[in-house]
């Protein structure tokens, strides 16, 4: 059985590229660029709650970091440093090697340094803490949406939720649909470059982790406005085509979490600028509606079908305590 220190050394000690001091001392040391603010966020993944205990460790390593990078993206921040707190039921070298591989591959791709953490025995639990830099006053917040602004979303929606629905036997996906949706669920691509590009264009932003209606609702609430979006305008994952009419597909689009796309608002006169960013990044950006005066405090987000009739977004997103 390897010791805790050997485990940290073997799997989680990497030369820090962008930190003054990384893993190995009582604390890491980092230097923030002059003129920048620190963006700080934490996301925890609990076995049985956020993933199956037998989930592929490589994909889990990717996801644990990706959801944190996504929070930086949603702030328009450049992710720089992460710490990793792990509770492990046992030391399983194969699991650890896989997890570290998935985690570190993504960290390298985004030039993020793993600078510290904590390792303890306990029920499988993965907690990542992330620090990023954003020029002073330029962060994308949830409270900047104004009446008349457009509502945008990146990429496609619903894939991750379809994978979950298929896992529960609620929908039958064919092989290729299953693969696409499973990748959307397990291997989200954090939209960091988009967040940075939107700093001077967007008036608010959020990453979609709990479902479009719920997360856009957070923007609306923080900004003291409402939003009207068109069901037919929502960019859907291609795997949804065959199931377009189904209740589950609609639910996946409106309330499905875990897609980690960005939802943002921007003044209508910045449409060309947003489109240019999409072209430059090779990322589909879709205008799905607009910001309106708050229609009411309970239903801040109104979804209209193609005939302009309101759709009841049955489940408004995932809430762990509901």
Residue 81 or 152 having the CB closest to ligand ADP: 81
Q: How far is the CB of 123 from ligand ADP (least distance, A)?
A: 16
6 near Mg ion, rule: CB under 5 A: no
Q: How far is the CB of 4 from ligand ADP (least distance, A)?
A: 7
Find the shortest distance in angstroms from Cβ 259 to ligand ADP: 28
Which of Mg ion, ligand ADP, none does residue 224 bind (CB under 5 to 8 Å by kind)?
Answer: none
Nearest approach in angstroms of CB 115 to Mg ion is 13
What is the three-class DSSP state of 269?
Answer: helix
- The contact set with ligand ADP (CB under 6 A) reads 8, 12, 23-26, 84, 86, 114, 116-119
Q: How far apart are CA 15 and CA 176, in angstroms?
A: 39
Report the nearest approach of ligand ADP to the CB of residue 110 (Å): 17
Rounded CA separation 89/226 (Å): 45
Nearer to ligand ADP by Cβ, of 25 and 92: the residue is 25
CB 64 within 8 A of CB 127: no
Query: Residue 92 touches which of ligand ADP, Mg ion, none (CB < 5 to 8 A by kind)?
Result: none
- Residues 103-122 contacting Mg ion, CB under 5 A: 118
The site partner of 86 among Mg ion, ligand ADP, none (C-beta below 5 to 8 Å per kind) is ligand ADP
Instruction: Give the full edge-to-edge strand order of the sheet including 262-266.
Output: 204-207, 262-266, 150-154, 285-292, 226-230, 301-304, 310-311
Q: How many CA atoms lie within 13 A of 286 on its CB side?
A: 17
Provide, rounded to whole angstroms, the least separation between the CB of residue 57 and Mg ion.
22
The tokens for 171 are 């929908």
CA angle 99, 104, 108 (to 5 degrees): 160
Q: Nearer to Mg ion by C-beta: 42 or 176? A: 42
Q: What are phi and psi of 193, to 5 degrees?
A: -65, -35
User: How many amino acids of this chain bind Mg ion (CB under 5 A)?
Assistant: 1
Q: Is 4 in the site for Mg ion (CB under 5 A)?
A: no
- 92 sits near Mg ion (criterion: CB under 5 A): no
CA distances from 301 to 7, 161, 226, 319 (A): 48, 20, 6, 17
Q: Does 305 bind Mg ion (CB under 5 A)?
A: no
Minimum CB distance to Mg ion smaller for 118 or for 314: 118
Nearer to ligand ADP, 22 or 132 (CB): 22
Considering beta carbons, is residue 11 or 51 the nearer one to ligand ADP?
A: 11
DSSP reduced 3-state for 165: helix
- Which of Mg ion, ligand ADP, none lies near 25, with the C-beta cut-off 5 to 8 A by kind? ligand ADP
Q: Tell me if residue 310 falls in helix, strand or coil.
A: strand
User: Which residue's entry shows tokens 């900047």?
Assistant: 144
Residue 197 has a CB neighbour count (10 Å cut-off) of 20
Residue 268 structure tokens: 């209508």
Residues within the interface to Mg ion (CB under 5 A): 118
């Amino acid at each position: 059985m390897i010791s805790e220190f050997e485990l940290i050394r073997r799997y989680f000690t990497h030369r820090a590229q962008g930190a003054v001091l990384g893993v190995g001392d009582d604390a890491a040391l980092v230097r923030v660029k002059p003129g920048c603010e620190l963006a700080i966020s934490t996301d925890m993944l609990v076995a049985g709650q956020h993933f199956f205990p037998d989930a592929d460790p490589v994909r889990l390593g990717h996801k644990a970091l990706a959801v944190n990078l996504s929070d930086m993206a949603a702030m328009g921040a450049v992710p720089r440093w992460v710490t990793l707190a792990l509770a492990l039921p046992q030391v399983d070298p194969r699991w650890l090697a896989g997890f570290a591989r998935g985690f570190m591959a993504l960290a390298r791709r985004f030039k993020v340094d793993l600078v510290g953490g904590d390792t303890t025995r306990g029920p499988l639990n993965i907690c990542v803490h992330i620090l990023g830099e954003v020029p002073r006053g330029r962060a994308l917040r949830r409270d900047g949406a104004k009446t008349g602004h457009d509502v945008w979303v990146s990429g496609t929606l619903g894939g991750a939720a379809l994978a979950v629905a298929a896992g529960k036997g609620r929908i039958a996906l064919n092989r290729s649909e299953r693969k696409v949706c499973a990748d959307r669920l397990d291997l989200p691509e954090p939209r960091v470059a988009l967040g940075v590009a939107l700093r001077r264009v967007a008036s608010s932003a959020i990453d979609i982790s709990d479902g479009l209606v719920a997360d856009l609702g957070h923007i609306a609430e923080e900004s003291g406005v409402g939003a009207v979006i068109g069901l037919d305008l929502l960019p859907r994952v291609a795997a949804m085509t065959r199931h377009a009419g189904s209740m589950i597909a609609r639910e996946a689009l409106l309330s499905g979490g875990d897609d980690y796309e960005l939802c943002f608002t921007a003044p209508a006169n910045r449409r060309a600028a947003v489109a240019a960013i999409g072209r430059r990044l090779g990322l589909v950006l879709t205008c799905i509606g607009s910001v309106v005066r708050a229609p009411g405090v309970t239903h801040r987000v109104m979804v209209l079908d193609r005939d302009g009739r309101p759709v009841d977004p049955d489940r408004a997103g995932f809430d762990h305590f509901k």
